[in-house]
Amino acid sequence: MAAATPEKKRSSWQVLGLALRNRKTGFMLVFGFASGLPFALFLGTLFAWLTEAEVELETMGIFSLIGLAYAFQFLWSPLIDKADLPLLRKLGKRKQWIVPMQVLLGTILVTLSLLDPKSQLGMFSLLAGMGAFASATQDIAINAWRIDVADEEATLDILSTIYQMGYRFSSLVGGALGLIIAARIGWPETYMLMGAILLAAGFIGLFAPNGEGDAADTMAASDALVRELRKAGELAPHIRNRALAVVGLLWAGAIGVVLTFMVMSMTYAPEDRPNPTQFTLNIGPWIIVATIILPALIAGWLASQKRQGKYLLEEDAPPSRGAGFAMDHLYRALVLPLVEFVGRIGWSLVLILAVVLTYRICDAIWGTFAYPFYLGELEYTNDEVAFASKFFGVGAIILGLALGGWMLTALGRMFTLMIGGLLAALTNLLYADLAIGGHNMQWLSDLVGFTWLIEQVPVIGSAKLAKLTITIGFENLAIGIAGAAYIAWLSSIVSKKFSAVQYALLSSLTLLVGTLGRGALGEMIENQGYFDVFVLTTYIGLAAVVLVCIEWWREARSGKASGVVTPDAVAQPAE
């Protein structure tokens, strides 16, 4: 018999072409756009409308809930992973949440367009708050869908990149373009148009594919996992229940604190309402500790006991009933995702958390101080900043994402993660140059002819604008590459069985970075100026690159495929 002919390896361009032609990629672009548009409309553009309507923002306690919904979305991620919505089970495990949330968001935006924000402020604020929670819920489900449907053709790396492209493009449509449209046709008409776009996205989402083996009846699939907890070799129920009691109290306390803040924001007099910024700064880290850090330690202990063969069932236990059945389901929702993750990763979780906490730290913190730096320190005008950061900057990010997507396919996930982190760290030095006059950036802009190009921009074009624009361009190009690699890597280390919970928990750690870092960074700016801050963030970024290299070495040693991704064997999420 003739020997089988070895299959020819596909080039990175062939792999990329296959991924881009896959229907999942098209739906990912739609979902990314639908995910970013509400964020831009509720946390940016809406305030421009309210300002024009002469509404005093301090009277709207409900608006403090908008940012809160995105910051603490992981609190209800177990519900998205476990529960079914009545009458919508046949859509699939993730689509049963994605599609109705998009329809709800579209309906809310259309309804907002019919209201007067000044005379109907109560209903207007309530709808905006509901929209933010619907948007955050949609984000949880979309992130899980991306992980669930990834395969050898529509790879996780490409889907993650396409998602971010859609998200970034929607921020331009809902932000800068929304302002331009509103100036011509009015705010109500603009929000009605945006609502129609989201309603269309909801309709398109009906036809998106589900993940392989996706059970339409999520509760039935969950019941099967719960029944496995009673088999021989699993932890004894009394041990699991003790762990659940502690984790349950921690989560209940965190949710109670958030709900108390919500009630106070909605019902108290304006002068008595809690400050949302201070709440996030002072209470946010403790919520992270209560819902992630301490439960992870408990999960680690449970995983170690199971590895050592302690507290295990020697034979199958009878099926649970009543309270025991409810406890098993709660354990599956709150504790098991962490036990699976910690048990699979082990002590390497410390390294992974270090990467998560440092890799995007510059991006997470810098956004708060960008406009004060551009407008206050450098004395640019609003139009100049809008041109450089919104139009040119968003284009640079999308270009960076495209380049990052190719690098992921051709060079590998961990190599791209390292290069993206290195470039993102070094671009802080470009801002350091701006902080002391920007002579080097001006020289570079003049050398490559970029200054002449920007000077052709009507009304605002100038050499001064050129050095800001080229600096933002380099930074956003690096952010695009780093963002494509980071989301792909983060998605690759979670399990498809618990993708909604595990991804939401890991991604929420950026909240910890932001809340702890902004106050210290703001104080440093006041005391030492921007130059020293940019040098410091460069060192932090370089430390993250070192951590990535260690993680790359760890993955290579453990034989995990995502360490080096070849075009013909792209890694998928760990199981």
Residue 8's pLDDT is 58
Write the DSSP assignment of 58-125 as a string of letters: GG-GGGHHHHHHHHTGGGGHHHHHH---TT-GGG-TTHHHHHHHHHHHHHHHHHHHTS-TTTTHHHHH
pLDDT tier at 516 (50, 70, 90 boundaries)?
low
Mean pLDDT calculated for residue range 291-312: 89
Give the mean pLDDT of 380-394: 86
Residues 103 and 198: their CA atoms lie apart, in Å, by: 7
DSSP annotation of 463: H
- What average pLDDT does this structure show over 503-529? 74
pTM of the model: 0.84
Residue 575 has pLDDT above 50, yes or no: no
pLDDT of residue 563: 36
Angle between helical axes of 95-113 and 23-40 (0-180°, round to 10): 40
Is domain 12-212 classified as CATH 1.20.1250.20?
yes
Mean pLDDT of the chain: 84
CATH assignment of 351-563, among 3.40.30.10, 1.20.1250.20, 3.40.50.150, 2.60.40.10: 1.20.1250.20
Residue ranges of domains in the chain? 12-212, 220-334, 351-563
Residue 9 has pLDDT above 70, yes or no: no
CA angle 452, 454, 457 (to 5 degrees): 120
Residue type, 430: L
Question: Once rounded to an integer, what is the mean pLDDT over residues 62-80?
Answer: 78
φ and ψ of 341, to 5 deg: -65, -50
Residues 322-376: pLDDT tens digits? 788 888 888 888 888 988 898 888 888 889 988 988 888 777 667 667 778 888 8
Q: Which of 261-265, 268-272, 447-451 has the lowest mean pLDDT?
A: 268-272
Look at residue 252 and tell me whether its pLDDT is greater than 60.
yes
pLDDT tens-digit series, residues 193-240: 999 999 999 999 999 998 776 654 555 666 677 778 888 888 888 999
Least-confidence region, from 91-95, 255-259, 276-280, 464-468 = 276-280
Query: Where are the extended beta strands (E) located within 508-551?
Result: none
Residue 575, amino acid:
E
pLDDT of residue 368: 65
Give the tokens for residue 91: 């859509």
Residue 551 has pLDDT above 90, yes or no: yes
pLDDT score at 37: 94
553 pLDDT tier (thresholds 50, 70, 90): very high
Band (267; pLDDT cuts 50, 70, 90): confident
Q: What is the pLDDT of residue 565?
A: 36
pLDDT at 65: 65
pLDDT in the model for residue 56? 67
Token code pair at residue 130: 């509901």
Using pLDDT thresholds of 50, 70 and 90, give the confidence band for residue 570: very low
Q: Answer whether 12-212 and 351-563 agree in fold.
A: yes
> Distance between CA atoms of 512 and 309, rounded to whole angstroms?
35
DSSP 572: -
pLDDT surpassing 50 at residue 494: yes
